[in-house]
Amino acid sequence: MAILNLKKRQIECKIVYYGPGRCGKTTNMEHIYKSYKKQVTGEMISIDTEGDRTLFFDFLPMGLGEIKGFDVRVQVYTVPGQVQYRSTRKCVLKGVDGVIFVADSLAVRREKNMLSLKDLQHNLKEYGINIFKIPLVMQHNKRDLAGEGLPIMAVEQMERDLNRQLKVPSFPASAISGQGVGATLKECLKLTLISLKREMKLGQ
Amino acid sequence: MNIVKKIKTLLKEAELYHSQGLMYEAIAKYNDATELIQKNEQLKNKQNLLEGISKKINVLNKDISKIELAPKKPEVSENIQDLIKKMYAFSPDMDEGAKALEGAVALAKFGQFKRAISDFNELLKRDSTRVDAAKNILRCHMALFSIDEAISQYEKWLLDDIFNPDHLNKIYIFFESLLNNEGVEKTLPKTKEQVDKVKVAVSSENDQVQISEPKDAGLEKSETVSEGEVESEAGSEDVLDVNSIGISVDSGPQKGHVYEFKVRFQLGKVVSLLIPSRDKDVIENFKIGSEIHDVQYYSNVGLFKGSGLVSAVKEITIGPLRGDYCVDIEVMVH
Ligand SMILES: Nc1nc2c(ncn2[C@@H]2O[C@H](COP(=O)(O)OP(=O)(O)OP(=O)(O)O)[C@@H](O)[C@H]2O)c(=O)[nH]1
Ligand SMILES: [Mg+2]
């Protein structure tokens, strides 16, 4: 639910990084924070618990500048991936405009990815949002670990597992090196703005 | 692959998983390695290897329990509290006062009581939010188990001149039933003049304040409220103050069971319940947007029946109430 202020010609929208525990959501945001200084408009706030696990959420405010006469502001959040924070994840999703689903490429996390995607679908549904309709982008993260000798899934397999029905844009990435991180976020922002534009037209 | 190489690979994988924070996956690899080593008779320094692995597993287990038993975070930093307010209390069409009130209630819901009290204190300055803010301040003190604090705050308000008599009366009725609900027997002063004269008697053998589970406190209360008070409260436009609610489960194995929950906060028609983690099963019945039929509302003027609309279900992840759930229900009386 983006907030539109016609008087100030301002749009504020919300993007959420979703995905299983340890898949690299916070690392994605850290990279954005470091590498997109021009678009970042404030501090990144992380609330984490023991072992660097996100406890509540990470938050990063961004500004995309003027688009078609509107000052576009974006609030980016990550959810806590650990299974027990189910309700918190739902809270963070409140009012979401676009979602980035970060999947872990490690073969041992295959099932966790699928469960998390299901959890996303379920939580969106509780807000009356259809996962097939919300701007959604997928990221296959930790591709670099193939070089370390850890069994990782082929992109094709991950696509089959997670994206066969959704058919959303997806990106290989390595959040730790930053590869693919910007492309993922940009695509999600693009889809979100297109969708907002459509909604605004409908609302007129 | 020869056996030594296989073991080395497993150990390296385990290390990598550990560095990724994937503790269980790391342990699984160490276990695989252990099995392989044990099966292999010819292996040199077998015992050393096994001991080394067992140490690693111990470290992992310690890490796991550290994560699982992570210390409860009391109040978080101020900028995070600001963010919580903003996150959970944004409704673009509300006026500033109402927004600020919602923000402060959001803080209280997440166990950030001290900050919430200070925000509510600011809201005492506005006409539109004064009474709600006062009620919530008392609730915050009670939630912090500082009943004495709540009482002295109330007495201070009687002495200060910030509330008009109608407001004071509302706060009195509210506070009295709140205390009652907590099992505290007292005679509260109603006017400036009565402060000091009235000693607070607490229902306990020693001097400790005892907190008891709310039973039908709201009902009991109704018998002691005089007619005049009932009128002034019921005649006002806002919804009655609800102290606790009873919900009957209408399906499943728990059918017929009545759960009772204390109301922690109330904002207009919306009451916030605190549901302890042990009652997790009940949470499943609370779906956002769904209507709960057959709800008993215990208010300070008696019991009334109605239904409720679930408007939010949140897990509290920080502060002393961590693990419990906060459920908002919009009161609907037929
Ligand atoms: N090699 C590698 N490691 C990564 C990558 N992305 C994340 N990690 C590591 O994975 C671990 C978890 O990363 P986080 O970003 O904290 O994961 P998260 O998804 O925020 O986890 P939760 O907050 O618990 O849900 C950290 O040790 C990261 O360094 C990646 O692309 N490659
Ligand atoms: Mg995280």
The residue among B79, B91, B94, B317 with the most chain A CBs within 10 A of its CB, best to mutate, is B317
What tens digit of pLDDT does each residue of B172-205 get?
A: 999 998 888 878 888 889 888 888 665 444 433 3
Q: What is the pLDDT of residue B318?
A: 62
**B9 contact A CB<8A:** yes
Q: Is residue A202 included in any domain, yes or no?
A: no
From the CB of residue B145, how many other CB atoms can be counted at a distance below 10 Å? 13
Contact residues of ligand 1, CB 6 A cut-off: A 19, 21-27, 52-54, 78, 80-82, 141-142, 144-145, 174-176; B 20-21
Count of structural domains within chain A: 1
Q: Is residue A180 included in any domain, yes or no?
A: yes
Q: Is residue A83 included in any domain, yes or no?
A: yes
Q: Is residue A8 included in any domain, yes or no?
A: yes
What tens digit of pLDDT does each residue of B71-104 get?
A: 444 467 888 888 888 776 555 666 888 888 888 8
Q: Is residue A201 included in any domain, yes or no?
A: no
**B215 contact A CB<8A:** no
Q: Is residue A200 included in any domain, yes or no?
A: no
Distance in Å, alpha carbon of B308 to nearest chain A alpha carbon: 17
Tell me how far apart the alpha carbons of residues B182 and B145 are, in angstroms, rounded to a whole number: 10
Q: Are A47 and A58 in contact (CB under 8 A)?
A: yes
Domains of chain B: 3-69 (1.20.58), 219-332 (2.40.10.220)
CATH number of the CATH domain containing A58: 3.40.50.300
Check A128 against B21: CB less than 8 A apart.
no
> Of A38-52, A119-133, B54-68, which gets the smallest average pLDDT?
A38-52
- Place B310 in a pLDDT band, splitting at 50, 70 and 90: confident
Of all residues in chain B, the percent with pLDDT exceeding 70 is: 80
Q: What is the pLDDT of residue B227?
A: 24
Q: What is the pLDDT of residue B91?
A: 57
Find the helix packing angle between B147-159 and B165-181, rounded to 10°.
Answer: 170
3-state secondary structure of B45: coil
Helices (H), chain A: 25-35, 86-93, 110-126, 155-162, 181-203
**B289 contact A CB<8A:** yes
Cα–Cα nearest to B17, from B31, B3, B34: B31
Tell me how far apart the alpha carbons of residues B64 and B21 are, in angstroms, rounded to a whole number: 10
From the CB of residue A14, how many other CB atoms can be counted at a distance below 10 Å? 23
Query: Which B residues, 132 through 171, put their C-beta within 8 Å of a C-beta on chain A?
Result: none
Distance A29 CA to ligand 1 centre (A): 11
Q: What is the pLDDT of residue A203?
A: 56
Mean pLDDT of B126-153: 90
Query: Given a cut of 90, is residue B136 above it in pLDDT?
Result: yes
Q: What is the mean pLDDT of chain B?
A: 78
Tell me how far apart the alpha carbons of residues B119 and B126 are, in angstroms, rounded to a whole number: 12
Searching chain B, which residue's CA lies closest to the CA of residue A52? B21
Q: Are A86 and A115 in contact (CB under 8 A)?
A: no
Check A87 against B315: CB less than 8 A apart.
yes
Cα–Cα nearest to B268, from B141, B145, B53, B91: B91
pTM of the model: 0.66
Q: What is the pLDDT of residue A13?
A: 92
- Place B219 in a pLDDT band, splitting at 50, 70 and 90: very low
Searching chain A, which residue's CA lies closest to the CA of residue B72? A49
What tens digit of pLDDT does each residue of A174-188 get?
A: 999 999 999 999 999
Query: Given a cut of 90, is residue A132 above it in pLDDT?
Result: yes
Radius of gyration of chain B (CA): 27
What tens digit of pLDDT does each residue of B144-177 get?
A: 878 889 999 999 999 988 899 999 999 999 999 8
Q: Are A161 and A114 in contact (CB under 8 A)?
A: yes
Mean pLDDT of A141-148: 94
The residue among B20, B61, B73, B288 with the most chain A CBs within 10 A of its CB, best to mutate, is B20
Check B21 against A109: CB less than 8 A apart.
no
Residues 6+ apart with CB under 8 A from B58: none
Q: Is residue A203 included in any domain, yes or no?
A: no
Token pair recorded at residue B223: 């018998």
Cα–Cα nearest to B286, from B298, B299, B271, B300: B271
Task: Specify the DSSP class assigned to residue B199.
Answer: P
Distance in Å, alpha carbon of A66 to nearest chain B alpha carbon: 22
- Place B212 in a pLDDT band, splitting at 50, 70 and 90: very low
Burial string for A54-80 (b: 16+ CB within 10 Å, else e) reads bbbbbbbbbebeeeeebebbbbbbbbb
- Place B221 in a pLDDT band, splitting at 50, 70 and 90: very low
Task: Specify the DSSP class assigned to residue A13.
Answer: E
Chain A partners within 8 Å of B71 (Cβ)? 50
Check A53 against B21: CB less than 8 A apart.
yes
Residue B205's alpha-carbon distances to B94, B213, B215, in angstroms, are 48, 18, 21
Q: Which of A45, A50, A94 sits opposite B83 (nearest CB)?
A: A45
Q: What is the pLDDT of residue B174?
A: 92
Residues 6+ apart with CB under 8 A from A139: A28, A100, A101, A102, A103, A170, A171, A172, A173, A180, A184
Mean pLDDT of B281-286: 77
Q: What is the pLDDT of residue A179?
A: 97
From the CB of residue B131, how many other CB atoms can be counted at a distance below 10 Å? 20
Query: Given a cut of 70, is residue B215 above it in pLDDT?
Result: no
Parent domain of A90? 3-195
